[in-house]
Structure 1
């Protein structure tokens, strides 16, 4: 079938839209009509020069939600008409990682696949995370589609597929914050604001946001932020955090991808038990630079990948939390666009004008 999809042709080239051919579902696969997809900095890295990648063209998009339209042979857990969130990290349910409660990183995630449902001008094309949600239809493996309830708006919960799961999960499933703990979030972008959501849901007594964009304060306070610090106007962020929390935050979350900020995050936590969760991806060959005694003083440093959320079994739980009014996902979406405005959407994401940008495939034409 013919589909419209946004893709990257090379680094330092604008994102493009073209008509691709899409192969139908084979054994263990499903065809999903994408209704909404979220824009993420990870997608942007394929054309802005920040990622070392050579397998072009690549259909972008890894945050998406839609409706199953066709199932291939051997598919048992999904049926036509099911509403689903697509997940970059699969959950096969059978490997040692899936059977363990310690990780969400299914072994299948690290095994390369030669399957290429998309093709452009007769040439097979890779899809980001084997998804490619910036297309109106995708063919994906069954274990990358999480069945969800059908009474929630797909143009809202699509953001749970990456930024939502990463942020909320980092507070609840990675850090396992306890009620009454204090948290500081460095970077209030799409992921950082979801960390605020997760910390609030965990019952945090204080949630401090750190960002150089003063406009992020309003968005943060609307969902639970109790304090806001702008490093450009606060002389010493670490000492200020220690003062607010009476010695250091119980938990810190680094959502920027900066070695210097990660060091600040660690130093801002309490001696003895402070925990820092690193979420932001450091660019290129940058290395972590920490004061040696910072960890020897009893602090912990943890990594988090998609918030330790097991995609097929736990993403539906996050959807339930939204339906029950526990999550304020609507407030985090600042712009809704059509696929033909995707370049504008990434521009707004890049310069900080947008919190979350969502492509609606049923959106009416822009006036």
Structure 2
């Protein structure tokens, strides 16, 4: 009898998360020079980390023998001041993904339900399964969250409801009026989680922090992986009223965020120039891909994030074909979109190379 016979069945049944394919693995498997490979799969910052963050992390290395500040007081304080919150509203995570897990630790069990949109971030479903909770998937017509339908799906067993805004992998968002109407209906026994990993890329972002200030049962997720270019550090945070935040603090591991990550994130938050350059580059990248897909007659979802979802017929085949050309994109079969791929915006040169590789692959599929 194998060891799985003694393990929790909901763990055995779980599918592991599949990240974007690493450059090094691609180079090794296909015999390519890693310096010639571009990764357009994981919504990373093509400009790299904030220069101020790199300088701060170099300095922090001198104290790598000392445990990090377990409370993350300096970083939490800076976040609170920037967002007009109190430090008790801020919880640090090993990436914003850990905040998702902490929420599940605090609120999910076999009797509970988690609600999310049909094409939302797949980690919500994975986490619900890991905690034995029922996952309720609400259709999202036009790839946009249907907040009216999500509100209607709430039951007495619902504990968590996720609104990814902008949503990954669709790049769509819901506006302030829709959110306000939804929040007017949200019951007290549900923690509404606004996943705002791509918040800084928005031209006109909605304000959901007002619900934190009002003491509502919400948690807003933010990350330093995207706009700040610190994905390798795994540093993110949750913003919640003290009642919810206190539960998350109790659920997290001691020293869950390391000293280099805290130092880098603290410096990156203050690097306005790097943030502005990243935003502008992304606006240009979205315009490039939107125009490029229209020109090619490809169906796509207009995006407000730093990636675009585009229909290519056979997502797995296009992913493989582009991989052989040194361009890593993301196939969307995991999101029940086998005919689609997701492409991250890059530099102007990376964007043009991606479109050229896409042209070659699609031409080969039709001949």
Whose helix proportion is higher, 1 or 2? 2
Do these two structures clear the TM 0.5 threshold for a shared fold by scoring above it?
Answer: no
* Higher RCO (Cα < 8 Å, 6 or more apart): 2
State TM-score, norm by structure 1: 0.28
State TM-score, norm by structure 2: 0.28
Whose strand proportion is higher, 1 or 2? 1
